[in-house]
Amino acid sequence: MPDHTPPPHPARPVGAAAALTVEDIREAHKLLSGVARATALESSRYLSGLVGAPVHLKCENLQRTGSFKIRGAYVRIAGLTAAERAAGVVAASAGNHAQGVALAASLLGVRSTVFMPVGAPLPKVAATRDYGAEVRLHGQVVDETLAAAQEYAHRTGAVFLHPFDHRDIIAGQGTVGLEILEQCPEVRTIVVGVGGGGLAAGVAVAVKALRPDVKVIGVQAAGAACYPPSLAAGHPVAVEGLSTMADGIKVGRPGDVPFRIVEELVDEVRTVSEDALAGALLICLERAKLVVEPAGASPVAALLAEPGAFEGPVVAVLSGGNVDPLLMQRILRHGMAASGRYLSLRLRLTDRPGALATLLGVLTEVDANVLDVGHVRTGPRLGLTEVEVELHLETSGPEHCTEVTAALRGAGYRVAESE
């Protein structure tokens, strides 16, 4: 295997990050040897062509438990005293942190209790139990779940493990940055998803200490972006009304510890739309053959949204791959629609033999692939001899969608796009 030692740049202390140094992250990396995988760095020809420079994907979606969270959880638990370990640990999470804590605690012989929302996806609940945690379902939203976990810690003496607001957690996540510098010494830009900020802060401490010339860019979902207003205010600001499919970065307030590091060391925090997230997930699946959750695909979404804004070579961190299959199905359909490859239409036919066959014949002529057909024969807006048909079509792009719609209207059908 070739030597990927980063070019010599003297390690330097950083102001607000002085409480956490690259040496702390190196110690965490040693501690994680044999525990966390040094995940692959895969080149993306498609994204490289789009950006106009080499783009590599850091595949933390292939990490143990399906995300980077095992890194920080293991380092945090390993740093507990014997008395703290004996008391056990408790966490609150809807998914990735839960699984990381469960496995890390099991590997270290520590009892773990994980509180999860009542509506948490069943595969994530089952995986957390399989990794050895006692799972307690409580609350409809993560804030309620978090309060229950903190109350449990106060009542029992168990150590509460925050998902991002602790230096040991950040040190563990920062090992991703060390691996990137080893695997891609020529890197110029690292793009990473941001929720509470633990991963971005850890990567920034590691990278800026060794390679201050490398840009670190954070990405948040536009519907759950707590960092832009916080950075503008100069302190963590809580935002409400969060709405995004990227539940892994759906955080209403930055952590106090990671915020100061992100404020000083991260070059920029961008936001991306839901359409961009869905499109990024689709690109990861189709082009890179990687299953990635929406939060993990956020760096790719940023590249898709403004490819010319990133100096290459670029490394995009795919932070996780734990996505519920039903959610994946909906997201992929949304992503196809956003990219003009999925079209839903409603139109009316005369309810007589052969009417549907005639309609399908028009679609055949324009090479539209019919995925599903639905019929409504009774309704206050329908005439006695009318039937409403809803079509779900696979198309090849926006121009093909326009062609399909024009062909149907040219054949005399009144067409409306389904919501």
392-401 burial, b at 16+ Cβ within 10 Å, e below that, comes to bbebeeeebb
Q: Would you call 183 exposed, middle or buried from its count of C-beta atoms within 10 A (0-12, 13-18, 19+)?
A: middle
CA-based nearest residue to 257, from 301, 205, 309, 333: 205
- Is residue 246 within 8 A of residue 277, CB to CB? The reply is yes
SS3 state at 209: helix
Q: Would you call 271 exposed, middle or buried from its count of C-beta atoms within 10 A (0-12, 13-18, 19+)?
A: buried
Judge whether 250 counts as a catalytic residue. no
DSSP 327-390: HHHHHHHHHHHHTT-EEEEEEEEESSTTHHHHHHHHHHHTTPEEEEEEEE---TTS-TTEEEEE
Beta strands in 222-274 (DSSP E): 268-272
Judge whether 69 counts as a catalytic residue. yes
DSSP 103-125: HHHHHTT--EEEEE-TT--HHHH
The pair phi, psi for residue 349, each rounded to 5°, is -125, 160
Measure the CA–CA gap between 63 and 75, rounded to whole angstroms: 15
Measure the CA–CA gap between 256 and 119, rounded to whole angstroms: 28
300-329 burial, b at 16+ Cβ within 10 Å, e below that, comes to bbbbbbebeebebbbbbbbbbbbbbeeebe
Catalytic residue among 48, 67, 69, 250: 69
Sign of CA dihedral 157, 161, 166, 168: positive
Element holding 66 (H helix, E strand): none
* Catalytic residue numbers, as ranges: 69, 319
